[in-house]
């Protein structure tokens, strides 16, 4: 259930014309959202976005815990809990959460990230109270026992086998890239964790993790759609208000030593049908002018079929088969980007092409932007593409709930989902040049070369075998 929007699992798309619920806005701003916020006495933060254009209600509960909160020997706990949360609670038996939601025509899911874990669902509007009861019951009294732990340890292992070990390029992107890009364990280890750490986890370990991070004061609940805000506030207080606050989790140290030379690794991949290359750079702090500039630059460089690298390498020279990238690569995009993180691009290319030459070509395009800037027409086109993507984060009750929750946890301000938009639209060519010259340089670069490798030959039979 790890969500990776940057690798093609993008949020569902709707044209901006399909937004009758949002007030019209000039091109330099986003449509305004109805937002009400409050906090319960136990510290849980709540965001309401009442919008009767949606014939449903949606919720997202986002916990301020992801892989970066884990310590050595306890990797994978955040992701393990994404599974544990569906194993039942005091008043909801194993498998009953699924039945309650699906029998009422709803949909649900959860996802684990480096900086947060969230759970979200969409239901008919009259089933709001059911949704709050289900979610509060597992926050209050999740069924943590040896049987459930064992089941989900095995489920996570199987997910890794199917989703990473047996998928082309996945191991290099999920495991190897962060391992060489960072030195600090908090940033370096993968979200899915190690089998050794999962096997070593005890019921007491897991219960302690839950008490610390799944407390109301470490959570933000977002409700969107066809709801009455006053009534929703009463129901939220009824179901979550009596859950006990816990001590605040210790802050996580994510500082990294400065990088001054390129870091490179070659990975042999038995699943890869063609060679691949990851070119990534350590990115800037979220909310800085460099952050906004690089978010626009990615549309110029490699986002979409009109981007420079796509036109030059896929359509023009025809040396690259596919191309994609993001801020926060490969675990997210600009929405959930939190430093330290990578700005990167992943390409699958033809075997006749030299990997080092391809890296040089990508860097040359970056250097050209540093030297010449971005022409006004191209910059305007990139901003239009960015606006189109940004508007999609608001369409649909569930999509809106999820993204409001991300901003509420990362920026402590859900309104920045739309409020930050002018910062992106005000980016200039000079700011892009400056940001690229500071961050997208060879000394700040991380490269992973992915080479197809034949499967290992089976061991030779010894005398007497097979008889």
Say if strands 320-327 and 342-349 run parallel, antiparallel, or are unpaired.
Answer: antiparallel
Task: Residue 456: count other Cβ atoms within 10 Å of its Cβ.
Answer: 7
Among 391, 186, 438, CA closest to 288: 438
Across the strands, what pairs with 267? 450
| 11: DSSP letter | P
Cα gap 181→341, rounded to integer Å: 9
At 460 the pLDDT is 60
Q: What pLDDT score was predicted for residue 32?
A: 85
Give the integer Cα–Cα distance in Å for 265 and 268: 10
> In this structure, what token pair is assigned to residue 43?
């510290």
CA–CA separation, 21 and 25 (whole Å): 12
Residue 440 structure tokens = 């997208």
Q: How far apart are CA 447 and CA 346, in angstroms?
A: 10
**pTM score:** 0.91
Beta bridge partners of 220: 45, 62
Token pair 């047996």 in the structure block, residue: 166
* pLDDT < 70: residue spans in the chain: 1-29, 455-467
* Closest C-alpha among 68, 66, 84 to residue 156: 84
Q: What is the pLDDT at residue 10?
A: 30
- The reported pLDDT for the residue numbered 28 is 58
CA dist 341 to 22, 112, 150, 259, 287, Å? 32, 16, 33, 13, 13
CA dist., res. 266 & res. 230, Å (int): 57
Q: Residue 198 in contact with residue 301, Cβ under 8 Å?
A: no
Q: Which residues pair with 280 in a beta bridge?
A: 344, 446
Distance from C-alpha of 166 to C-alpha of 426, rounded to nearest angstrom = 43
Distance from C-alpha of 175 to C-alpha of 182, rounded to nearest angstrom? 12
342-349, strands of its sheet edge to edge: 263-269, 445-452, 276-282, 342-349, 320-327
CB atoms within 10 A of CB 143: 16
Nearest-angstrom CA–CA distance, 350 and 318: 9
Residue 56's region, left for phi above 0, alpha for psi from -120 to 50, else beta, is beta
Question: Burial level of 49, CB count in 10 A (0-12/13-18/19+)?
Answer: buried
SS3 210: helix
> Domains (ranges, CATH) in the chain?
5-9+23-240 (3.30.830.10), 263-452 (3.30.830.10)
Task: Give the pLDDT of residue 246.
Answer: 98
Q: How far is CA 167 from CA 76, 135, 171, in A?
A: 19, 33, 8
CA nearest neighbour of 224 among 419, 22, 29, 5: 22
CB atoms under 10 Å from CB of 273, counted, come to: 12
- For residues 413 and 32, the answer to whether their CB atoms sit within 8 Å is no
CB-facing half-sphere around the CA of 287: CA atoms within 13 A: 10
């Amino acid at each position: 259930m790890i969500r990776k929007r940057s690798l093609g699992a993008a949020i569902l798309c709707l044209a901006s014309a399909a937004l009758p619920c949002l007030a019209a806005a000039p091109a330099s701003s986003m449509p305004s959202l109805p937002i009400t916020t409050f906090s319960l006495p136990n510290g849980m933060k709540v965001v309401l976005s009442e919008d009767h254009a949606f014939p449903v209600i949606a919720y997202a509960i986002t916990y301020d815990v992801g892989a970066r909160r884990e310590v050595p020997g306890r990797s994978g706990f955040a992701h393990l809990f994404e599974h544990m949360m569906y194993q039942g609670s005091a008043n909801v038996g194993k498998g009953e959460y699924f039945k309650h939601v699906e029998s009422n025509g709803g949909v649900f899911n959860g996802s684990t990230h480096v900086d947060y874990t969230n759970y979200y669902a969409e239901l008919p509007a009259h089933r709001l109270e059911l949704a709050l009861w289900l979610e509060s019951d597992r926050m209050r009294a999740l069924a943590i026992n040896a049987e459930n732990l064992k089941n989900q340890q095995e489920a996570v292992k199987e997910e890794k086998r199917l989703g990473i070990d047996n998928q082309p390029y996945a191991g290099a992107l999920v495991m190897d890239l962060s391992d060489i890009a960072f030195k600090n364990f908090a940033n370096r280890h993968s979200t899915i964790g190690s089998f050794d750490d999962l096997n070593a986890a005890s019921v007491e370990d897991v219960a302690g993790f839950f008490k610390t991070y799944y407390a109301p004061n470490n959570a933000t609940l977002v409700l969107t759609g066809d709801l009455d805000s006053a009534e929703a506030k009463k129901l939220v207080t009824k179901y979550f208000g009596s859950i006990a606050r816990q001590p605040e989790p210790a802050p996580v140290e994510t500082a990294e030593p400065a990088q001054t030379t390129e870091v490179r690794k070659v990975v042999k991949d038995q699943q890869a049908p063609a060679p691949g290359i990851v070119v990534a750079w350590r990115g800037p702090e979220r909310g800085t002018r460099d952050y906004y500039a690089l978010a626009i630059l990615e549309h110029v460089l490699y986002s979409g079929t009109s981007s420079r690298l796509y036109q030059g390498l896929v359509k023009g020279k025809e040396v690259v088969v596919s191309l994609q990238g993001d801020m926060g690569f490969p675990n997210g995009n600009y929405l959930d980007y939190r430093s330290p993180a990578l700005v990167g691009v992943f390409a699958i290319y033809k075997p006749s092409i030299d990997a080092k030459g391809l890296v040089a070509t990508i860097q040359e395009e970056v250097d050209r932007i540093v030297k010449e800037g971005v022409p006004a027409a191209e910059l305007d086109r990139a901003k239009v593409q960015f606006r189109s993507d940004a508007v999609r984060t608001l369409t649909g009750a569930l999509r809106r709930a999820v993204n409001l929750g991300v901003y509420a946890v990362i920026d402590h301000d859900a309104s920045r989902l739309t409020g930050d938009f002018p910062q992106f639209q005000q980016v200039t060519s000079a700011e892009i040049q400056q940001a690229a010259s500071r961050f997208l340089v060879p000394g700040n670069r991380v490269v992973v070369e992915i080479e197809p490798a034949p499967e290992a030959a089976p061991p030779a039979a010894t005398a007497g075998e097979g008889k």
